[in-house]
Amino acid sequence: MIVSPVGADTDLRAAIEDLKLGRYRAARDLLARTGPNWALRTRRSQLLAAGAGEGGVFKAWLEEESRSADASMMWARVLTRAALAAHRSGTNRDLVARAAGLARQACMRATALRPECPVAWVCLLQLTQLPFDPYHFDPKWRSRPLPWDRLRDPTMPLPGPWPLLEEINRRDPGSREGHHRMREFFLHRGGGPTAAMNYSAWVVASPPTSGELDLLPLYAMRDVYAARHGNGHGSALQFWQTAQVAHYACQARDRWFASVPPVHHGWLSVLDLNHLAHALVACGEDARAVFEAMGPYATPEPWQTINRSLGRSYDWTTEFLRIRSAALRTHSRG
């Protein structure tokens, strides 16, 4: 078992290893080859930023190539992560505000260098999780119709940074990370797990829906679970055995996973596959094909959250391996 969100993207894995050694050229070349494949560019840039640690290597790259759109994009990623990390660690509000301002400035520079790229807008949307008015992270807020935070759709009354999501969707329709960042906004700033669940359910019920977005409710239900049963109380295991879980798990399997040819399974999000496999197993559905698509790769979530909430003394990987083995045995018997 390999614990990694990178999955079978060997070029990305090699670039991350180089970043850890303080070398950016493999990442630079990878992003250049990725080109205007916005979905892949968004995913790879997210994982590059996460895998680089503090991200000083991207600052060095930007200092070497100050007009590089890719270097500017990655620096925006790094500063966005730093601002959010400062907030979550309880850093003084003024320092968080300064970090957020630097991240916003980096995002605007990245957008100026490559206006058609959605990544800087994804970062701006991510910054709305901070304890400041969300419109401050929209460089166009003064020219937007009022009210800024309302969607002109009677089926979605929740206020939120909709203009930022619109900018992302204009560049990358159905952006996976864009919609997850919106879900996280509702989770952290816009009403909590219930609001995030309502948003996720609204997205998958609003055609046309990008296949990956069918996973949104499974992430939202994990957060609802953590809020209600994080201490293992209140019928924690039964939470995953409801008709609602089965509905969204089977919908994601049938509309998203089943539509992807096996030859392309290596390009699917490992995190998405782990959430789908968990939900299918928990509600008694067959998950063998999903585990096969995952190959040797696993991610801590959602297994770690569930394992911790139930007070199990063993590591989440033990439970994961047991569940995967049982699912694959079912396949071999068939």
Could you tell me which residues come within 8 angstroms of residue 296 by beta carbon, excluding any fewer than 6 positions away? 1, 2
Residue 331 has pLDDT above 60, yes or no: no
**Mean of the pLDDT values across residues 141-151?**
93
Q: Answer for the pair 86, 8: CB distance below 8 angstroms, yes or no.
A: no
What are 101-110's pLDDT values in tens digits? 999 999 999 9
Supply φ then ψ for residue 3, to 5 degrees: -85, 105
Q: HSE of 190 in the Cβ direction (CA atoms, 13 Å)?
A: 24
Residue 276 has pLDDT above 80, yes or no: yes
Cα–Cα distance measured from residue 180 to residue 174, given in angstroms and rounded to the nearest whole number: 11
Residue 166 has pLDDT above 60, yes or no: yes
Q: In this structure, what token pair is assigned to residue 175?
A: 């952006």
Q: Answer for the pair 178, 119: CB distance below 8 angstroms, yes or no.
A: no
Q: In this structure, what token pair is assigned to residue 235?
A: 């019928």
Residue 329 has pLDDT above 80, yes or no: yes
What are 204-241's pLDDT values in tens digits? 998 776 789 999 999 999 999 999 887 766 677 788 99
Q: Answer for the pair 326, 282: CB distance below 8 angstroms, yes or no.
A: no
Could you tell me which residues come within 8 angstroms of residue 319 by beta carbon, excluding any fewer than 6 positions away? 303, 306, 307, 312
Amino acid at 153: D
How high is the pLDDT of residue 170?
Answer: 97
Q: Answer for the pair 8, 295: CB distance below 8 angstroms, yes or no.
A: yes
Residue 160 has pLDDT above 90, yes or no: yes
How high is the pLDDT of residue 332?
Answer: 52
How high is the pLDDT of residue 301?
Answer: 95
Query: Which of 60, 72, 137 is closest to 101 using CA atoms?
Result: 137
**23: DSSP letter:** -
**Mean of the pLDDT values across residues 191-213?**
91
Cα–Cα distance measured from residue 144 to residue 209, given in angstroms and rounded to the nearest whole number: 25
Return the domain boundaries, the chain. Answer: 1-140+159-179, 191-334
Residue appearing with tokens 């789908």: 276
Cα–Cα distance measured from residue 84 to residue 196, given in angstroms and rounded to the nearest whole number: 19
Residue 72 has pLDDT above 90, yes or no: yes
How high is the pLDDT of residue 235?
Answer: 72
- Summary mean pLDDT of the chain: 94
Entry pTM = 0.94
Q: CA 131 → CA 102, 134, 136, 207, distances in Å?
A: 16, 8, 11, 32
How high is the pLDDT of residue 89?
Answer: 95
Q: CA 15 → CA 12, 41, 120, 155, distances in Å?
A: 5, 14, 21, 43
Q: In this structure, what token pair is assigned to residue 260?
A: 């992807």
